Structure 1
């Protein structure tokens, strides 16, 4: 039995005193292992039931106040005696996993034994077990903080013993889910179903669940979309409350809506988008300044979504939950219902639409001199594609004849684009000449053909106009210090800079700027490498070395664009941060400019607090990544479906990535990547040089590195795992 130095104090307070909080904490902090309550009872000489109950209550209170940690196996440990971290579990197909902790550079290893207490996507509390030498540090599960309650998509099977189970489609859930016997009997074996887990895994217990939805059996693009939506927990249906709110919104713009708006219907605004664009957020118009002035006036009209979507309404809450529209090859999951996104707020040609205008005055070299924002009504005079504008600029006789009455305005756009191009307007940061594949789908929404989608001058012109409007909007809101979501792009990590420079050294290239290179140094590098055959690969590796851009009320600047502040203003139909910005701009116009604005009560000193903005920014950053991952899943399936018909083909390609298990090859003809596994390189034993990003033959000294041109053969395609396997046919 041990003696508590605070025993006298406890005896004065309680009839049946038990060890004090201080003593329990002190004693536990000296223990390196997990301690059960029974062990504590024995150690402290607690025998009767009343004292045991009192100890249990005290331990629970200490857990509540963070003085002890209660683990899943019903044991206690002092927080200060171990390195406790909170992180997200990342599962692996082979049963083990990793713990991703925001404050740590590397993920922590979770053994298959530790993974028996958690699943992919869980937020857990764990303690770090430091490894010796070069081994990765590992984590030991302590407590489940936030379970991953998502629905799991998988294939339904019945074994020889009539036991029903589902194998998850996402290989990071590396377990079978056993289905309760009361499940309906008419589900076909091999059907793709959606499962809800009955409970979280308990060590050595089978994971059980209920089938809540049957998606189908034969894979296709539409089913791939359905799987992606459920895998990433993306909302895709509209509630009754939203339907009711939509019924109260007029089907057309009325004269009453024009109140307090500047009438710009006489100006020939155009929308310029891709051929398959589904909604039109923005329209532009420009003209030279009058004779006594040099320079240009540029109007960017952006759909006034905030007029229809007011804060804290069902539509607003759903838009926030979705965060962004998601564009799949065969469909779109819009942030806002079609009545708003493709009708009332879409700047369709020849109809009156409500807009928020960013009117800018530019110098004769295209620099932003001044700007102003205001509400207006416009009428788009035409819907053009990038290719149409580009062809008109380059003298296409048919199109110039077809749009004869707009030639002056279209030529003005061309003159302004030449000024932008000559003076690198909107290109002062890191400018990528991206080459993206364009998929042509057949009537079944499957890839029929793939070609290179080259950005022309019309793309670059619209991009410059949008960036200028975003910059002007950032200046405006920053001037009044109102909380807003900035689009932050932080500097790359020092380790990433070092790795990128090692890659460049292999190519005989140099990134200037010392330990802290600026955007201009990256831009100079790309300019110097623009005529090299490895140019696309250099861009790819550079992108991988960069951090992701995020939304936050803390303005940290945009490294990629070389700007001290940046916001998103031009796409409120499909991005929630843009909708927030419109509300803030209207609020500031009403408060500081004494301009009457529509549909809001702007008496409050602030629309949003900093803490609200932080939560919204974090959520919108997450939904953006979620949308990217979901669309990538579908495109990966489409690529595999397409390549399945190419098994046995011999194709030319370039090494796009090198790993310890092989190298990926981008096929020149299709812009699709496949893996040449290291095991298939049977002419030598190859080891991975992580610094030089290459595989080196131990005996032959053969080297496979980024940018190498070679021929490969398509060996197999795994549609379920979305993997394309290649073998080396010939290297040059």
Structure 2
């Protein structure tokens, strides 16, 4: 038995340490753990190793300094900010350190903090609580993702910034916030010279009278009817850099063509780009041919060429500093905020057909089963033979080629599909996570107004390019790791034990078999996904599996990529739009001696700091893009209030139902006032709402019919009313037992 340095006490097991953390309030550190288990001297190193092992297994996470906590736990006492109101008017909070808290009406595994005040706290120090107030609070956990905050005292605060659109009322104008989490409407201090529909930035004025939410307009940002209103809201909300500084623009405008010196001439190879029909930049080109080697019968030679962005963006240059700050391009329905100026992203770094372009290319040899036998990176000069679209290529493969594609059928298209079929075989064999998630695309007119919202159909041509890019990314990671060159890996951890248990409990409620133990391979999900494919529960199960996953990130510490079932993976194929790929290009140039513009290792920020920054900019972009699609959808549906829609329940909460419309993929909310009158109980483990008297049950994935009641084009919020759907349960006794078990978390009664 392991003992501490005193020799008289056994060294704690993992379970004992986790039990100690479970019983502890707030966040503790190694010192507290060592004191609790009487660990001294050399045994402290053993404790550090044990904690690191628990962290790698997902059982705990690091806090600030040397402090640790169970995943997802918030401290017992913390500083909070009131961020908005929920569907039933409840005040919702976020940590004062979290500036990008999720929407309260976004059914994700994000933490929900609800203010619970008493008369004493609401009267103390200035009257009623309101959006923007900072305060010290005691946090009470309801479950892993839900807390009650009980105020201790108010704290001084700076001006509260609010973005919104001016709306007319009988006595002037009101400010309707663009933030989905803020359901308040603010009075405008001075609305002279302002018109309804103006998008503004405002400051919340002091004042503690009940219901007194008054703002002063700081600046106008445009009109709700203007083109690019959707992207402007997101840019202002998330402070996304969108104006290039003069030095960066001057550097981009001074760029020119590359020559052949120091490069391999690839211009005779019929490389082609395959992108969406509306793509403007083309940063990857592909080619394949059968491997002529007798030792690799049935194998393939694949060439993947990527725009040589590193040639134009030297480390430490104005362009480099701005690209790092942005982290990535951001794609909105009405425009793109690029990582690099248009002179590069749509010019010298775009692989335009018939024009010479510098590239960094990898030549990969595949065997007949799609496994990578070897790879070699070169710096080249290429000339794209054609700019093709996914639809063109797929139609050609299906026997309906258009005239532009006919010359490439035998020499390019057929070999590409042959190599891809081998890669697809290898992908299926290693057991990647095969989620089927619906995706929609917003179509806009020249005036920036949405004209259609249509589902995106994944074609084999999409999968072809995706698998070619994965092979290139794997080759880049293998090359750098083999040569011990520091690298930003794209890592994706396995699901935490807590999320795995939550998923297993939910699936058991649905009568679906699933392991409750540690999930070590993505393939463990695929049998479940196959079981529900093309059934009414397909969307529900795919959504729940997605929610159980960890978020991918960039890190110099390689833990592999769980979702792709890969031991090493690094983003290499999109340096026009991702800074991570640019760092990988530079590392390859440096370690392979392909030029002098790879920079020096460690010359800029440490890789872990770069990884943290671009992970945060990626998540910022994803949230901004998602909200922009929701806002565009609201604009599209604004004239359809009163219409009926087929929908599915995609989440339940104490405020009502979250729904997704079948036709457009639009997300909306059905508050309790829009449900049949009853007393509704939230069954959190079963992800369902239960009507206590009617036995009407709404579960995740249930098809229902809803009527659109209200549209907020400012925030993109859609409010619906239930028309029909749900399940009438006959086992009323079981429901009543659930009601008693959940009596402390009952939501308010829904009323017509």
Q: Deviations over 1:425-483 (max 9, x none)?
A: 59622122333113333343322223321101111111111111111111111223333
Report the Cα offset of residue 619 of structure 1.
Answer: 1.2
Q: Deviations over 1:24-73 (max 9, x none)?
A: xxxxxxxxxxxxxxxxxxxxxxxxxxxxxxxxxxxxxxxxxx9xxxxxxx
CA distance change for structure 1 residues 238 and 357 in 2, over 3 Å: closer, same or farther? same
**Equivalent runs, 1:462-473 vs 2, <5 Å:** 462-473=465-476
Report the Cα offset of residue 202 of structure 1.
Answer: 11
CA distance in structure 1 between the partners assigned to 2:160 and 2:309 by the alignment: 31
**Equivalent runs, 1:569-608 vs 2, <5 Å:** 569-590=572-593, 596-599=594-597, 604=600, 606-608=601-603
Q: How many pairs were matched up?
A: 629
CA distance change for structure 1 residues 91 and 459 in 2, over 3 Å: closer, same or farther? same
235, 238, 255: which is aligned to 2:241? 235
Partner of 2:342: 338
715, 718, 722: which is aligned to 1:724? 718
Pair 1:409 & 2:419 matched = no
Contact between 1:89 and 1:119, CA under 8 Å: does it hold in 2?
no
Q: Deviations over 1:398-431 (max 9, x none)?
A: 45x7522553221001212222333435962212
Contact between 2:258 and 2:357, CA under 8 Å: does it hold in 1?
no
Partner of 1:497: 500
Report the Cα offset of residue 528 of structure 1.
Answer: 2.7
302, 307, 316: which is aligned to 2:306? 302
SS at match of 1:290: coil
Contact between 2:176 and 2:714, CA under 8 Å: does it hold in 1?
no
SS at match of 1:483: coil
CA distance in structure 1 between the partners assigned to 2:253 and 2:608 by the alignment: 33
Q: Which is further off, 91-100 or 342-351?
A: 91-100
CA distance in structure 2 between the partners assigned to 1:703 and 1:179 by the alignment: 43
SS at match of 2:659: strand
CA distance in structure 2 between the partners assigned to 1:254 and 1:670 by the alignment: 45
CA distance change for structure 1 residues 513 and 576 in 2, over 3 Å: closer, same or farther? same
CA distance in structure 2 between the partners assigned to 1:314 and 1:505 by the alignment: 55
Contact between 2:197 and 2:224, CA under 8 Å: does it hold in 1?
no
Pair 1:191 & 2:234 matched = no
Report the Cα offset of residue 335 of structure 1.
Answer: 0.5
SS at match of 1:645: helix
CA distance in structure 1 between the partners assigned to 2:708 and 2:166 by the alignment: 30
CA distance in structure 1 between the partners assigned to 2:707 and 2:170 by the alignment: 39
**Equivalent runs, 1:281-360 vs 2, <5 Å:** 281-294=283-296, 295-360=299-364
Normalised TM-score (structure 1): 0.77
CA distance change for structure 1 residues 207 and 652 in 2, over 3 Å: closer, same or farther? closer
Report the Cα offset of residue 537 of structure 1.
Answer: 2.2
CA distance change for structure 1 residues 202 and 492 in 2, over 3 Å: closer, same or farther? farther
Partner of 1:170: 179
SS at match of 1:349: coil
251, 265, 268: which is aligned to 1:266? 268
CA distance in structure 2 between the partners assigned to 1:320 and 1:188 by the alignment: 39
CA distance change for structure 1 residues 148 and 398 in 2, over 3 Å: closer, same or farther? farther
Pair 1:136 & 2:142 matched = no
**Equivalent runs, 1:549-564 vs 2, <5 Å:** 549-564=552-567
CA distance in structure 2 between the partners assigned to 1:150 and 1:254 by the alignment: 50
CA distance in structure 1 between the partners assigned to 2:346 and 2:582 by the alignment: 16
Root-mean-square deviation over aligned CA pairs: 3.7
**Equivalent runs, 1:612-627 vs 2, <5 Å:** 612-627=606-621
SS at match of 1:632: helix
CA distance change for structure 1 residues 202 and 675 in 2, over 3 Å: closer, same or farther? closer
CA distance in structure 1 between the partners assigned to 2:282 and 2:130 by the alignment: 41
Normalised TM-score (structure 2): 0.75
CA distance in structure 1 between the partners assigned to 2:655 and 2:394 by the alignment: 45
CA distance change for structure 1 residues 170 and 439 in 2, over 3 Å: closer, same or farther? closer
Pair 1:708 & 2:702 matched = yes
CA distance in structure 2 between the partners assigned to 1:247 and 1:109 by the alignment: 51
Report the Cα offset of residue 216 of structure 1.
Answer: 2.8
Q: Deviations over 1:606-665 (max 9, x none)?
A: 2457x6212211111111111122222221111112222222222222222222222223
CA distance in structure 1 between the partners assigned to 2:231 and 2:269 by the alignment: 41
CA distance in structure 1 between the partners assigned to 2:656 and 2:140 by the alignment: 29
CA distance in structure 2 between the partners assigned to 1:119 and 1:488 by the alignment: 40
Report the Cα offset of residue 336 of structure 1.
Answer: 0.3
Contact between 1:195 and 1:211, CA under 8 Å: does it hold in 2?
yes
Report the Cα offset of residue 574 of structure 1.
Answer: 0.3
SS at match of 1:717: strand
Q: Deviations over 1:665-705 (max 9, x none)?
A: 32222222332222322253221111111111212322211
Partner of 2:514: 511
Report the Cα offset of residue 135 of structure 1.
Answer: 6.7
SS at match of 1:537: helix
**Equivalent runs, 1:107-256 vs 2, <5 Å:** 128=138, 136=148, 138=150, 140=152, 152-155=162-165, 168-170=177-179, 186-188=193-195, 191-195=198-202, 213-220=219-226, 222-250=228-256, 253-255=257-259
Contact between 1:260 and 1:598, CA under 8 Å: does it hold in 2?
no
Report the Cα offset of residue 529 of structure 1.
Answer: 2.4
Gaps of 5+ in 1: 1-65, 67-82, 591-595
CA distance change for structure 1 residues 471 and 132 in 2, over 3 Å: closer, same or farther? closer
Report the Cα offset of residue 149 of structure 1.
Answer: 8.6
Partner of 1:18: none
Partner of 2:749: none
Contact between 2:76 and 2:140, CA under 8 Å: does it hold in 1?
no
Partner of 2:32: none
Partner of 1:444: 447
SS at match of 1:92: strand
Partner of 2:424: 421
Contact between 1:434 and 1:455, CA under 8 Å: does it hold in 2?
no
CA distance in structure 1 between the partners assigned to 2:525 and 2:430 by the alignment: 12
Partner of 1:676: 670
Q: Which is further off, 533-542 or 348-357?
A: 533-542
CA distance change for structure 1 residues 700 and 336 in 2, over 3 Å: closer, same or farther? same
619, 633, 636: which is aligned to 1:639? 633
Pair 1:688 & 2:682 matched = yes
